[in-house]
Chain A
Amino acid sequence: MKSEIKHHLSDEILMAYSAGTLPEAFDLVVATHVSMCDECRARLDSFDAVGGAVLEDCAEVAMSADSLAATLAMIENAPKVADAPRRAAAGSVFPTPLQEYVNGDLDAVKWRKVGGGVSQAILKTSNDASVRLLRIPGGAQMPDHGHRGMEMTLVLQGAFKDEHDRFGRGDVEIANEDLHHTPVAEEGEDCICLAATDAPLKFNAFIPRIAQHFLRI
């Protein structure tokens, strides 16, 4: 599940994920990419270490007198099983954090056609941003869209190319309003992406404006 990833998360995004200030939709893309990318996992761990140092330096606020006893009682009353590690089964397309939102792997996704051979599935998150799975047939073109705000697209299967670069499994593209691109899925198997955005996409062509409401994007 490692190596060959060429497009990584930025320091800014990893730090915001570590600090816990990103919308849930972006958290999901970050957690899914980090599950596939040791490089970003190491960078994230180092930002978490800053959080640890900040916690260590917090001026103490006294706990209530019976707090330790109350906590031990909480432990005593909880099931005695330790938390199991969260790991995806071998051969899964989706890493664990994504499986937890889909309730399964790729075959559990409930796709809806959105035109041009493209299908999507919107995942339920807090509404300050949105995240969806996209399925683009090999060779098919995504609608050309400009961005308002930030968009993150993580490839889970297949690959896409735009005017600038190629993105394969594990690669993440971070785009802002300056980027106007027309990604095309590489010939071969369907390209499956996880895409989060913090603003409605504005399509330049291909899908009428009224459809944006219908698509909830």
Chain B
Amino acid sequence: MVAHKDKAEWVGHVRRIQEERDQTAFAELFAHFAPRVKAFLMKSGASETLAEECTQEAMATLWRKANLFDPSRASVSTWIFTIARNRRIDMLRKQRRPEPEDLPWGPEAEPAPEDVIALQQESAQLGEALSQLPQEQRELIEKAYFGDLSHSQIAAETGLPLGTIKSRIRLALERLRHAMK
């Protein structure tokens, strides 16, 4: 288990990529996340060669989509997970991945800083909670996210404190909608 400290700082890295096309920030993100994305893809059944290739593509996607990252709704690791997962569906299952439409969101509706901080904290706490679950339960959740379980086998009862993070995201969504009016 790795420590979950410093998670929030990655938000600044993504902002630097988006605003300044900062390659140093990208290199730091890459050093931390690429080896994890590669491991994630290999645990999902990809060969090392394929996982390497897909990880590079996923990290390039991160650069391209940096303008769409919303730190009031996701941590950077959550966002990278969704990019890696979609690459996996495309690559291993040869399926399209229908994604929800983007929220009406632009420079006129910046997320509130307190929402960003709170969400990043909730995400870190969720990570802590996952690492403290009994091993058997944690492995079941990991298997589900590696795509090792069929949808009927995935239990919705994860034992994780999802209520708090859900309320937080809900609040952030409401503020965004309000800011749009």
Contacts and interface: CB of A to CB of B under 8 A. Distances in A.
Contacts of A85: 68, 102-103, 105-106
Interface of A: 2, 10-16, 18-24, 26-28, 30-32, 34-35, 38-39, 41-64, 67-68, 70-72, 74-75, 78, 82-83, 85-88, 95-97, 100-101, 125-126
Secondary structure of the A side of the interface?
Answer: helix
A43 B63 CA distance: 26
Contacts of B156: 10-12, 14-15
A104 to B, nearest CB: 15
B60 interface: yes
Given A20-B147, A54-B142, A46 B166 contact: yes
Contact of B169 (A19, A35, A46, A54): A46
Contact of B151 (A21, A50, A56): A21
B141 interface: yes
Contacts of B84: 55
A57 B131 contact: yes
B15 interface: no
Nearest to A20: B85
Interface string B90-120: 0001111111111111100000000000000
Nearest to A37: B100
Given A22-B151, A57-B1, A74-B56, A48 B74 contact: yes
